[in-house]
Structure 1
Amino acid sequence: MDLPETSGRPDGLAWAVAFPPDVRPVAGEPRPPGQGGWDWLHYDLVHSRARAAIEAEPVFPPFALRLLTGTDETPRIVSDGEAVAGVLPSFARTSGPDQQEIVWWRFAMLPGRLITARRRPMRSLADVWSALRTGPVPGGPMELLDGAITDFARDARRRVAALEDSLDSAEDTLLDRSLSADLSGVGPRFGLVRRDLTDIKRALTPLVRLLDEDAEELPAWAKQIPHDAARTVLVGALEEIAALHDRARALQDELTTRLAEETNRRLYIVSVVTTVVMPATLVVGFFGMNTGGLLWANHNWGTAFAAAVCLVAMLGTLLLMRWKRLL
Structure 2
Amino acid sequence: MLSPTRSIPGLVWAYYVDPAGGTAIRLEPDGELPSFADGNGFLWLHLNLVDTRVSAFLDDFPGLSAEAHTALTTHETHAAVTVDEQLAFGTLVDFQREFDAETRDIGWLHFALSDRFIITSRLQPIRSIDRVRAALEKNPGKCGNPMQLFEMLVAEFQRGLIKVVMEMTEELNAIEDIVYDSELRDERRQLASVRRVVVRLYRHLRTLLSLMRRAAASDEEDMPFGFDEVARRLCARLESVDHDVHALQERARLLHEEIDSKLSSETNRHLYILSLMTAFLLPASLVTGFFGMNTTGLPFADGLHGTLSAFGFIAFSVFLSWLVLRRAGIL
Structure 2 length as normaliser, TM-score?
Answer: 0.86
1:237 aligns with 2:241: yes
1:22 aligns with 2:21: yes
How far residue 244 of structure 1 moved from its aligned partner, in angstroms, is 1.9
Residue equivalent to 1:197 = 198
What RMSD, in angstroms, separates the aligned Cα atoms of the two structures? 2.3
Aligned residues: 315
1:59 aligns with 2:59: no
Say which of 91, 96, 99 aligns to 1:92.
96
How far residue 323 of structure 1 moved from its aligned partner, in angstroms, is 4.1
Greater CA deviation, 87-96 or 156-165? Answer: 87-96
Sort the Cα spacing of 1:169 and 1:228 in 2 relative to 1 into closer, same or farther, 3 A: same
Q: Percent same amino acid at aligned positions?
A: 30
Segments of structure 2 that go 5 or more residues without pairing to the other structure are 1-6
Residue equivalent to 1:282 = 286
- SS of the residue 2:90 aligns to: strand
How far residue 225 of structure 1 moved from its aligned partner, in angstroms, is 4.6
Residue equivalent to 1:102 = 106
Sort the Cα spacing of 1:96 and 1:274 in 2 relative to 1 into closer, same or farther, 3 A: farther
1:149 aligns with 2:151: no
How far residue 95 of structure 1 moved from its aligned partner, in angstroms, is 8.9
Sort the Cα spacing of 1:293 and 1:236 in 2 relative to 1 into closer, same or farther, 3 A: same
Greater CA deviation, 21-30 or 268-277? Answer: 21-30
How far residue 312 of structure 1 moved from its aligned partner, in angstroms, is 2.7
Partner deviation per Cα, 1:209-256 (whole Å, 9 max, x = no partner): 233221233535233753455333311111012222222222222223
Matched residue type, 2:70:
R
1:112 aligns with 2:116: yes
Query: After superposition, where does 1:195-234 map in structure 2 within 5 Å?
Result: 195-215=196-216, 216-217=218-219, 218-219=222-223, 221-223=225-227, 225-227=229-231, 229-234=233-238
User: Whole-Å Cα distance in 2 between the matches of residues 277 and 91 of structure 1?
Assistant: 61
How far residue 268 of structure 1 moved from its aligned partner, in angstroms, is 0.8
Asked whether the equivalents of residues 143 and 225 of structure 1 are also in contact (C-alpha less than 8 Å), the reply is no
User: Whole-Å Cα distance in 2 between the matches of residues 63 and 283 of structure 1?
Assistant: 85
Sort the Cα spacing of 1:78 and 1:317 in 2 relative to 1 into closer, same or farther, 3 A: closer
How far residue 97 of structure 1 moved from its aligned partner, in angstroms, is 6.9
Asked whether the equivalents of residues 40 and 114 of structure 1 are also in contact (C-alpha less than 8 Å), the reply is yes
User: Whole-Å Cα distance in 1 between the matches of residues 295 and 64 of structure 2?
Assistant: 103
User: Whole-Å Cα distance in 2 between the matches of residues 98 and 14 of structure 1?
Assistant: 19
Sort the Cα spacing of 1:292 and 1:76 in 2 relative to 1 into closer, same or farther, 3 A: closer
- SS of the residue 1:100 aligns to: strand
Residue equivalent to 2:35 = 33
User: Whole-Å Cα distance in 1 between the matches of residues 228 and 87 of structure 2?
Assistant: 15
User: Whole-Å Cα distance in 2 between the matches of residues 94 and 310 of structure 1?
Assistant: 70
Greater CA deviation, 217-226 or 42-51? Answer: 217-226
User: Whole-Å Cα distance in 1 between the matches of residues 62 and 45 of structure 2?
Assistant: 14
Residue equivalent to 2:319 = 315
User: Whole-Å Cα distance in 1 between the matches of residues 102 and 127 of structure 2?
Assistant: 14
Asked whether the equivalents of residues 147 and 230 of structure 1 are also in contact (C-alpha less than 8 Å), the reply is no
- SS of the residue 1:101 aligns to: strand
Residue equivalent to 1:171 = 176
User: Whole-Å Cα distance in 1 between the matches of residues 137 and 273 of structure 2?
Assistant: 69
Matched residue type, 2:17:
F
User: Whole-Å Cα distance in 2 between the matches of residues 128 and 62 of structure 1?
Assistant: 27
User: Whole-Å Cα distance in 1 between the matches of residues 81 and 97 of structure 2?
Assistant: 23
Asked whether the equivalents of residues 16 and 34 of structure 2 are also in contact (C-alpha less than 8 Å), the reply is no
Sort the Cα spacing of 1:324 and 1:219 in 2 relative to 1 into closer, same or farther, 3 A: closer
Asked whether the equivalents of residues 75 and 89 of structure 1 are also in contact (C-alpha less than 8 Å), the reply is yes
Partner deviation per Cα, 1:238-293 (whole Å, 9 max, x = no partner): 10122222222222222232222112111110111011111111111111122222
How far residue 201 of structure 1 moved from its aligned partner, in angstroms, is 1.3
User: Whole-Å Cα distance in 2 between the matches of residues 157 and 31 of structure 1?
Assistant: 37
Sort the Cα spacing of 1:83 and 1:98 in 2 relative to 1 into closer, same or farther, 3 A: closer
Residue equivalent to 1:6 = none
Segments of structure 1 that go 5 or more residues without pairing to the other structure are 1-8
Greater CA deviation, 191-200 or 281-290? Answer: 191-200
1:125 aligns with 2:129: yes
